Amino acid sequence: MAKQVEVKNQGNHFTAVNVGKLNEIKDYALDLGVITIPGKTFLGQALQTTGAEISFQSLAAGQDYAARHAHKTHEELYFFLKGSGEFEVDGEFFPITEGSVVRVAPKGVRNFKNTGDSEMLMLCVQYKADSFGEEDSPMNDGIMM
């Protein structure tokens, strides 16, 4: 059985989860019915997020995301935390390494692959595109206490 996200604490205004040690992300598996993506887990349901989805994914050497895909309304930010590889958007390929951050608009057809010889670790934040306005900037939305 695949590893599960653990809810550690929650209250009226927060939820805290733990995915375990980052080198254990590979123990997760995301079952999408038609395919299962090894080393991937979503956190949104466990965190009870209302404006974004968050996922971690571990890719073994030579492994790719599992499916070229796009979205209807969601933009994605990919943060590469470990390893190196190749990212593809709309047929254009470019290198990614630890520290790379990639934004992809909803209609961008995307995929990525670990081309290194060790694990690649990625964090993805998915949110509705064009949902932030000037009033949402940290300077306008933050309330200092």
Convert the pLDDT of each residue in 17-44 to its tens digit: 999 999 999 999 998 888 888 999 999 9
Determine contact, residues 95/86, Cβ cutoff 8 Å: yes
Residue 12 scores a pLDDT above 90: yes
State the average pLDDT over residues 113-129.
97
Q: Average pLDDT for residues 2-6, to the nearest whole number? A: 89
CA–CA gap between residue 116 and residue 89 (Å, rounded): 19
**pLDDT computed for residue 44 by the predictor:** 95
- Domains of the chain: residue spans and CATH: 6-132 (2.60.120.10)
Q: For residue 138, what is the enclosing H or E element?
A: helix 138-141
Give mean pLDDT, residues 8-15: 96
Residue 66's pLDDT band (cuts 50, 70, 90): confident
Mean pLDDT of the chain: 94
41-48: average pLDDT = 95
Burial 13-26 (b: 16+ CB within 10 A, else e): eeeebebeeeeebb
| pLDDT, position 71 | 97
* Distance separating alpha carbons of residues 45 and 34, to the nearest angstrom: 21
| 0.75 surpassed by pTM | yes
Give 71-112 pLDDT, tens digit per residue.
999 999 999 999 999 999 999 999 999 999 999 999 999 999
pLDDT greater than 90 at residue 144:
no
